[in-house]
Amino acid sequence: MKNLKWTAILIPLLLVSLIFISSDRGEATSSITSLPKLLQRSTGIQAGSEWDKVQNLYSDQVNTLRKRPEDFTAKLQLSQLFVKEARVTGEHGHYYPAALQMLDEALLDTGISKSDKFMALTTKAGVQLSLHEFHPALETAKAAILLNNRNAQIYGVLVDCYVELGKYDKAIAASDKMVSMKPDLRSYSRVSYLREIHGNVDGAIEAMTMAVKAGFPGEEETAWAMLTLGEMYERYDMPDKAKIVYHDILKLRPQYPFAVAALADMQLKEGKLKEGENSMDEAIELIPEVGFYLSKAELYKKQGQKQKFESIMEEIYVMLQDDVDAGHNMNLEYADIYMELDTNLDKAKEFLLIEQNSRPENIDVNRRLAKYNLLTGDKRKAQEYYSKALLTNSKHPELKEIQLALKSS
């Protein structure tokens, strides 16, 4: 179903009909009946004429595949449409498997051209990143770059893979190549992220501002870049600037759910509890994103509303399981919940160790391991993981909190 907003990486920004076709997620075939359906957007996120364009594009590709089931371009167009709809609607559990279905079908074609195979592999690597399958994504990206090493998009995928796997020097090299080839929203946003995790907060804000300026006002990816900029302002104690950015998003893309939720979270932090809860309900009405539910769960816990807290946590676990069932790696999300909200440190450890074994050099994984060991009272291990989390000189606020806890008696 829906995924958390706590995405640690910059997932590649990739790039629909009155006819709704039943989804069959079994063996991929070229039959029209196997095509995944386009889900209806809620009224609030139809974004003017954007939804009409999406539906028309979907319908055109479906009609093409009805006539020519082997058509590569139609399959690629559908896969990229599904990726975008996952971002817009939050329906990750439906759209990411749908995108992979189209891509895997296209890649089965033994007559596929080199350039077409490159695009299919690049898009597939992006979907694997979105599912937090970082090692498979890197292998897919490496296969793509063997076919074409002069395309900016594939270097963006490599940046994301290397960041998540803790290969930061390689991420910087890939980012430099990307921005030299195509200085745009996608490349500037990656420059911003790399600057932030290396402790250059001012430079990160500058690069994300450039990303916003490079985007088209009102487009989803521009709204996403603005949201990321606002989150940086919040993270580094500039709430007034963050609030301005969130309101600016809503002027350009009304009812953008993540901006609505960001303002709701700010209201909750300011003690405007009823106002914040109502605003979060508005965001949930637009997209029932699990991160929005988590904000409400935190509110109920602070207020001591045990019954409401337990009820909403049941919903959250169902949503998370839906993601897992769709192939989404949710280990860090579960770990955060069990450490910070629905306390179960044994469960938190279980999920953290899986991620540690998979990507031991990642600074976000090590930061969480440091937090976990502080919670269990093992300061020696906490110090060990804290040191690893400092590898890039990150200025993340949680690192300061960990440092203070380690210094206390």
Q: pLDDT tens for residues 363-391?
A: 999 999 999 999 999 999 999 999 999 99
Q: Please state which CATH class domain 1-164 belongs to.
A: mainly alpha
Task: Give pLDDT < 50 ranges for the chain.
Answer: 1-33
Q: Give buried/exposed letters for 28-54 (b at 16+ CB in 10 A, else e).
A: beeeeebbbbbbebeebbbbeebbeeb
Residue matched to tokens 């995924």: 3
**Which tokens sit at 5?**
């907003």
The residue ranges of DSSP E strands in 208-329, in sequence order, are: none
Rounded CA gap, 183 and 278, in Å? 40
Torsion sign, CA atoms 300, 306, 307, 313:
positive
Cα 84 versus chain centre, distance: 12
All structural domains of the chain with their residue ranges: 1-164
Residue matched to tokens 């790039």: 15
Triad 31, 35, 37: Cα angle to 5°:
150
Torsion sign, CA atoms 224, 193, 190, 15:
negative
Rounded CA gap, 206 and 233, in Å? 11
195: how many CB neighbours lie within 10 A of its CB? 20
Residue 48's pLDDT is: 82
How many Cα atoms within 13 Å fall on the side-chain side of residue 306?
A: 0
The single-letter code of the amino acid at 408 is S
Question: What does the pLDDT look like over 136-178, one tens digit per residue?
Answer: 999 999 999 999 999 999 999 999 999 999 999 999 999 999 9
Is the CB of residue 235 less than 8 Å from the CB of residue 200? no
The single-letter code of the amino acid at 283 is A
Residue 288's pLDDT is: 86
Residue 409's pLDDT is: 56
Question: What values do phi and psi take at 92, rounded to 5?
Answer: -65, -40
The single-letter code of the amino acid at 72 is F
Rounded CA gap, 329 and 136, in Å? 12
Residue 400's pLDDT is: 96
Residue 241's pLDDT is: 98
**Which tokens sit at 305?**
């509303």
